[in-house]
């Protein structure tokens, strides 16, 4: 885990250094934030997990034998 | 010899597979991709034809072009051939000839599509692709595989029919079958409809939602080795034809971006490891579709987008094959495919884990792996076109990709539990070797992208390894990891299936069968009974028309009487009629032979008169 923490810190500092020294081409306003990618990665990941799980639990996820059960119901009719 | 078709190396090699035995067969199987690679190498060096049309055959007043060669077709052919070598090595322990035959028909026909210069040739190979892929699913020999295979082929036959319809309409409206960019405009004239139909056929093979469900339905049910082949050819063949037919179609930019996110969302919910990876095929192909949409010809950003789509297809085929090989190895040794039934396998299969992780780093776009050098080209193109929403969707899909392929799946398969969930060992050596070679190629292209960039259709002015790219990608992925670590409990597999758009045809299919069995059948029985009643009546009448007529007349008379006079008197009549019915047909007059012949002659002469009269009427 220490490697990961070191990487986090390095990439974070790297973001500021890049902005100070290499002046990358800015296409969108958020690219002026040196830590935008870190923020987007963290928040985006949480949103994907929670959003998808909500969608799944309330609507899309069914029991494993969902389709077999439907088949059975049909043959009983 | 001016040129030789690389696809025909596979197609002509197929009949020899059942003839050869043992080591010879294995050597033969491995030699075909090497031979095709040599031919391609000679093509790209200009020794064989490297640009132009060849293998032209006359066909029904048109020409079939089997060899349409340029940089775009060569780069796609390269990756298909290289991937087929790794894949056949992975499948080399399979004894059953049929599986190898299906695989090589599949590879050969995809190369046929890649070099097709006209729409008829394209359609021909397109159909062989669909059918040979079907057998890679069916050879699993489980009920689920048979069912999924049937659904697979029905969807692809529909797609093929759309393509054929489009091709014929295109031929009718333009008089040409040459495969070149189609006009895509709004409005319902026949030429537009032809374009729509062709696009629809292509989009079904590219697995663009809502036409994607066949992929996540069938691929996870295929054989372990067959699924590895399936990941590469159908969808990337579709990307190739989209680049040829619809470059710069704006619709595709958005469809691709939606695809990229769609696959990610569904992968969160998935429990089956290969189905999870299958949803990531959809997601990754989204980048390519989006790239095709941004590929307006003649613009700098457009050329960047087309290069990006082609490069990403190249890299994707390699790392996705590697990922499916890793997941397939787990299924091969454990006979389990669900995250809820796996876990703790690291101690028994560490090599598989590390090789899989190379694929996972590649698909996530870690610097030094091949996804980084190709995916960022498409994302960069969206920045050059100033499409903020597309950019955010594509970057967001990267997060999800790393989250599932790089974290959730390996965590659930090789770790989670302290104890291994089941017995496991490393897979056979040929499988490990195939994974090793593929992993090497993924890393090689990541470290030294020039090899790939030189093959791309347009000159590449893109530098992936700038400080800004590396830092922002590292930030994105590392902070995704932190979020995963916090939510890892929530991300464990759940024993469920996820409904997708295949629900419509799976359930609609059942409704159709119910409709056929119940209402349609009842209607058919009713019509049948009515028709038979008429027939019976005619037969009854013809037994003695004179008495039959009088019976019918009496029936009408009794009916009228019942209305007018009291029922006592009618009753007598009814009894009498009943007697008459019972004695029907009664004594029939016996005809002598002469009498019969006379009647027949009478009928024939009536017919003759009728004929002559009608002839006369016609003349006048």
**B476: which chain A residues are within 8 Å (Cβ-Cβ)?**
37-38, 40-41
Shortest distance between the Cα of A13 and any Cα of chain B, in A, equals 9
Quote the pLDDT of residue B216: 94
Shortest distance between the Cα of B479 and any Cα of chain A, in A, equals 5
Closest to B177 in 3D by CA, of B192, B189, B160, B194: B194
B383 touches chain A (CB under 8 A): yes
Q: Locate tokens 């050869």: which residue?
A: B20
A20 touches chain B (CB under 8 A): no
Residue B54 bridge partners (DSSP)? B67
B247 touches chain A (CB under 8 A): no
CA–CA distance, B269 with B276 (Å, rounded to integer): 8
Quote the pLDDT of residue B493: 81
CB-CB neighbours of A53 under 10 Å: 18
Shortest distance between the Cα of B231 and any Cα of chain A, in A, equals 24
Shortest distance between the Cα of A68 and any Cα of chain B, in A, equals 10
Quote the pLDDT of residue A76: 66
Nearest CB to B496; choose among A18, A36, A62: A62
Contact A11 B498 (CB under 8 A): no
Nearest CB to A56; choose among B383, B468, B498: B498
**A45: which chain B residues are within 8 Å (Cβ-Cβ)?**
399-400, 403, 479-480, 483-484, 487
Residue B62 bridge partners (DSSP)? B59
pTM: 0.86
**Mean pLDDT, chain B cut into blocks of 10 residues (620 residues total):** 92 95 94 96 91 90 92 96 97 94 97 96 96 96 94 95 96 93 87 94 95 94 96 96 94 96 92 94 96 94 96 97 96 92 91 96 94 94 94 94 92 84 89 97 96 94 91 92 88 86 83 87 95 94 85 87 77 84 79 88 95 85
Which residues, in sequence order, are CB contacts of B45 under 8 Å at separation 6+?
Answer: none
Report the complex ipTM: 0.90
The nearest alpha carbon in chain A to B511 belongs to: A74
Quote the pLDDT of residue B616: 86
Q: How many CB pairs under 8 A join A and B?
A: 147
**B381: which chain A residues are within 8 Å (Cβ-Cβ)?**
none
Contact B510 A74 (CB under 8 A): yes
**A58: which chain B residues are within 8 Å (Cβ-Cβ)?**
none
**B470: which chain A residues are within 8 Å (Cβ-Cβ)?**
14
Q: Which of B270, B468, B510 has the most A C-beta neighbours within 10 Å, making it the best mutation to test the interface with A? A: B468
- Boundaries of domain holding A17: 2-76
A12 touches chain B (CB under 8 A): yes
Under the banding of pLDDT at 50, 70 and 90, the label for residue A16 is confident
Tell me if B196 sits within 8 A of B58, measured CB to CB: no
Quote the pLDDT of residue A74: 63
Tell me if B321 sits within 8 A of B87, measured CB to CB: yes
Quote the pLDDT of residue A26: 81
Q: Locate tokens 């973001």: which residue?
A: A15
Shortest distance between the Cα of A46 and any Cα of chain B, in A, equals 6
**B266: which chain A residues are within 8 Å (Cβ-Cβ)?**
52
Rg (CA), chain B: 34
Contact B467 A35 (CB under 8 A): no
Q: Which of B476, B477, B518 has the most A C-beta neighbours within 10 Å, making it the best mutation to test the interface with A? A: B476
C-alpha distance from residue B459 to each of B305, B453, B454 (Å): 12, 8, 7
**A3: which chain B residues are within 8 Å (Cβ-Cβ)?**
none
**B400: which chain A residues are within 8 Å (Cβ-Cβ)?**
44-45, 48
A55 touches chain B (CB under 8 A): yes
Closest to B162 in 3D by CA, of B127, B138, B134, B131: B127
Q: Look up residue A32 and give its DSSP letter.
A: G
CB-CB neighbours of B527 under 10 Å: 10
Contact A46 B487 (CB under 8 A): yes
> Considering only residues 501 to 560 of chain B, which have any Cβ-Cβ distance to chain A shorter than 8 Å?
506-507, 510, 513-514
3-state secondary structure (DSSP) of residue B57 = strand
**Number of domains chain A is built from:** 1
CA–CA distance, B346 with B38 (Å, rounded to integer): 39
3-state helix, strand, coil in chain B (%, to 5): 75, 5, 20
């Amino acid at each position: 885990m220490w490697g990961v923490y070191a990487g986090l810190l390095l990439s974070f500092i790297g973001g500021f250094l890049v902005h100070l020294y290499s002046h990358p081409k800015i296409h969108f306003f958020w690219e002026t934030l040196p830590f935008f990618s870190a923020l987007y990665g963290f928040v985006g990941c949480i949103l994907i997990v929670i959003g998808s799980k909500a969608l799944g639990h309330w609507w899309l996820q069914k029991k494993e034998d969902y389709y077999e059960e439907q088949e059975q119901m049909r043959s009983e009719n | 010899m001016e040129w030789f078709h690389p696809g025909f190396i596979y197609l002509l090699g197929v009949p020899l597979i059942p003839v050869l035995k043992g080591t010879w067969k294995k050597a033969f199987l491995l030699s075909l991709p090497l031979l095709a690679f040599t031919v391609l190498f000679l093509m790209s060096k200009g020794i064989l034809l490297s640009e132009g049309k060849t293998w032209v055959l006359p066909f029904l007043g048109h020409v079939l072009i089997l060899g349409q060669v340029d940089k775009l077709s060569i780069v796609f052919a390269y990756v298909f051939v290289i991937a087929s070598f790794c894949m056949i090595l992975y499948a080399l322990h399979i004894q059953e000839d049929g599986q190898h035959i299906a695989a090589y028909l599949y590879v050969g026909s995809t190369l046929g599509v890649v070099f097709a210069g006209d729409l008829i040739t394209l359609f021909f190979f397109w159909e062989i692709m669909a059918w040979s892929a079907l057998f890679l699913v069916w050879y699993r020999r489980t009920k689920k595989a048979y069912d999924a295979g049937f659904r697979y082929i029905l969807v692809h036959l529909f797609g093929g029919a759309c393509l054929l319809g489009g091709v014929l309409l295109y031929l009718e409206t333009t008089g040409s079958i040459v495969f070149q960019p189609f006009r895509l405009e709004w409005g319902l004239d026949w030429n537009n409809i032809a374009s729509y139909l062709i696009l629809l056929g292509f989009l079904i093979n590219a697995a663009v939602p809502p036409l994607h469900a066949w992929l996540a339905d069938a691929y996870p049910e295929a054989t372990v080795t067959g699924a590895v082949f399936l990941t590469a050819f159908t969808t990337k063949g579709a990307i190739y034809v989209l680049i040829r037919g619809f470059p710069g179609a704006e619709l595709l930019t958005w469809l691709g971006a939606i695809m990229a996110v769609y696959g990610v969302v569904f992968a969160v919910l998935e429990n089956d490891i290969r189905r999870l990876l299958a949803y990531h095929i959809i997601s990754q192909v989204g980048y390519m579709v989006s790239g095709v949409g941004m590929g307006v010809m003649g613009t700098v950003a457009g050329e960047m987008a087309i290069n990006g789509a082609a490069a990403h297809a190249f890299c994707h085929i390699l790392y996705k094959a590697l990922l499916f090989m890793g997941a397939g190895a787990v299924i091969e040794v454990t006979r389990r495919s669900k995250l809820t039934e796996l876990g703790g396998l690291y101690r028994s299969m560490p090599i598989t884990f590390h090789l899989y992780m190379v694929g996972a780093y590649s698909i996530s776009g870690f610097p030094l792996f091949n996804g980084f050098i190709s995916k960022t080209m498409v994302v960069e193109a969206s920045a050059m076109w100033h499409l903020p929403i597309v950019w955010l969707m594509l970057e967001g899909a990267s997060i999800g990709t790393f989250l599932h392929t790089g974290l959730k799946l390996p965590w659930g398969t090789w770790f989670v539990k302290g104890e291994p969930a089941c017995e496991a060992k490393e897979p056979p050596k040929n499988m490990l070797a195939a994974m090793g070679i593929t992993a090497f190629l993924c890393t090689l292209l990541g470290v030294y992208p020039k090899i790939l960039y030189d093959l791309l259709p347009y000159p590449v002015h893109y530098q992936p390894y700038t400080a800004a790219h590396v830092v922002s990608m590292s930030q994105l992925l590392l902070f995704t990891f932190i979020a995963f670590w916090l939510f890892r409990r929530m991300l464990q597999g759940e024993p469920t299936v996820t409904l997708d758009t295949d629900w419509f045809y799976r359930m609609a299919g059942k409704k159709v069968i119910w409709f056929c069995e119940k209402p349609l059948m009842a209607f058919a029985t009713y019509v049948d009974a009515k028709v038979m009643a008429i027939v019976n009546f005619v037969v009854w009448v013809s037994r003695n028309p004179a008495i039959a007529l009088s019976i019918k007349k009496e029936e009408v008379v009794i009916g009228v009487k019942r209305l007018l006079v009291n029922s006592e008197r009618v009753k007598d009549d009814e009894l009498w009629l009943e007697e008459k019915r019972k004695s029907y047909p009664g004594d029939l007059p016996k005809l002598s032979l002469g009498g019969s012949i006379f009647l027949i002659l009478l009928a024939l002469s009536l017919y003759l008169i009728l004929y002559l009269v009608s002839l006369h009427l016609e003349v006048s």
